[in-house]
Chain A
Amino acid sequence: MAPFDVRLPEGDQSEMDITTVVQPDLTVICDSAKLDDKGCLGSPDLIIEIISPSTAAHDYIEKLSLYERRQVPEYWIVHPIDKTVMVFLLNDRLEYGKPRIYAAEHEIQVGLFPDLMIDLKKVFKN
C-alpha cells in the first residue's frame, strides 16, 4: 500500500535518471527481482488507484496513459463516492480496451488471478 515508490524507467534510463516515480494506492508485483529496499523498479502486475475529486483527472488521464505505455497489465480505478470500479486490461494489441465497470453489488474477478474474486459489498461498506 502507498506510500510505496514505483519507479518506471523509460528505455535505458539508469536508476538515478528515472523521470517517472509513482505511489499507487495498491500495487501487486509478481517478479521479486523488481523489488528492492526502495520499493519497486519496473512495471507492476496490477495497480489500483482510489480516486478523490482532486486526483480524478490525474488517475483517469495521466496515470491511465502512463500505465498503458508502461504495460501494466491491469489497472483498477475505484470511485469511493460513486461506488464504482473501472477495470482496464491490456488487450491483444497491448492497449487498454473498453473498461469493465462494476458497482457495489458486483463481484470482480481479478484478471491477474483468475481464482480471486473481490466482493465489492465488502469494499464499499457504507
Chain B
Amino acid sequence: MESTAIKDQKFTYQEYLGWPDEERWEIIDGEAFNMTPAPSRAHQGILGALFNAFYHYLEDKSCEVYVAPLDVRLPEYDQSEMNITTVVQPDLTVICDPAKLDDKGCLGTPDLIIEIISPSTAAHDYIRKLTLYERRQVPEYWIVHPIDKTVMVFQLNDHREYGKPRIYAGADQIPVGLFPDLIVDLRKVFRD
C-alpha cells in the first residue's frame, strides 16, 4: 500500500536527498509518498514497450526519454532548488529542453509524462498527479492501466487545463500529441 510517511510533516528536496537510496519516494507539496513495493512484471513489460517506442523515435531528435526512477523536481514560483517541495518519479518522462536536465534528473516541467498505475497507486496517479501535472502545465499526461488495458490521455487545452481525456484500449493506435508523426501501437504495449 502507498503510505504517507509522517502525516502533517512537510519535506523539502534537501531532506529527500538524504533518504535511503533503496527506497523510492515522491514528495508533493512537501507531503511524502512511499512508492515501494516494486512494480509488477506486467507494469515493467508495458514500461519497456513504451520506452522502446519513444526511444527509437527520439534517436535522431533533441528530446530525451527516461524511465523511472528519474527525479523530476517541480519548483513552485521562486523556490530555490533545495527548498523544492515537489519531486516525482514518473514511470516515463519526455523532456525537450536540455536546459532542464542536470546530473540529478530534471528541473522543471517535462513535455510528456506517462504513469502506469497499480491498484496501490491508482488514487495517487488519477487524483494527486493529475492535479499536479495540470497545475505545473505538463502538456500531455498518459495514465496506463495494465489490468484493464486502457490508456487515458490528458492534454492541456486552449484554457491551459486538461479537458476530457481521450481513452484508448486493446489494439488502438495512439497518436502522440507532442509528436504528431509518432503513433504508439497498443498491440505492442499490452502483449499478454
- Chain A interface residues (CB < 8 Å from chain B): 51, 53, 56-57, 60-61, 64, 79, 81-84, 86, 88, 95-99, 101-104
Contact = CB atoms under 8 A, between A and B. Distances in A.
Contacts of A96: 164
B130 A53 contact: no
A98 B164 contact: yes
B163 A57 contact: no
A60 B117 CA distance: 16
A57 B149 contact: yes
A103 B149 contact: no
Task: Tell me the dominant secondary structure on chain A's binding face.
Answer: mixed
Contact of B147 (A53, A61, A84, A99): A53
A56 B149 contact: yes
A82 B123 contact: yes
A101 B164 contact: no
Contacts of B148: 51, 53, 56-57, 60
Interface in B134-174: 145, 147-150, 152, 154, 161-165, 167-170
B122 interface: yes
Contacts of A64: 167
Contact of B119 (A51, A57, A61, A81): A81
Given A56-B150, A57-B149, A103 B164 contact: no
Contacts of A98: 154, 161-165
A93 to B, nearest CB: 11
Contact of A81 (B127, B147, B162, B164): B147
* For the complex of A and B, 8 pairs with smallest distance between CB atoms: A57-B169, A56-B148, A82-B122, A103-B123, A101-B126, A60-B167, A101-B127, A53-B147
Interface in B16-65: none
B150 to A, nearest CB: 5
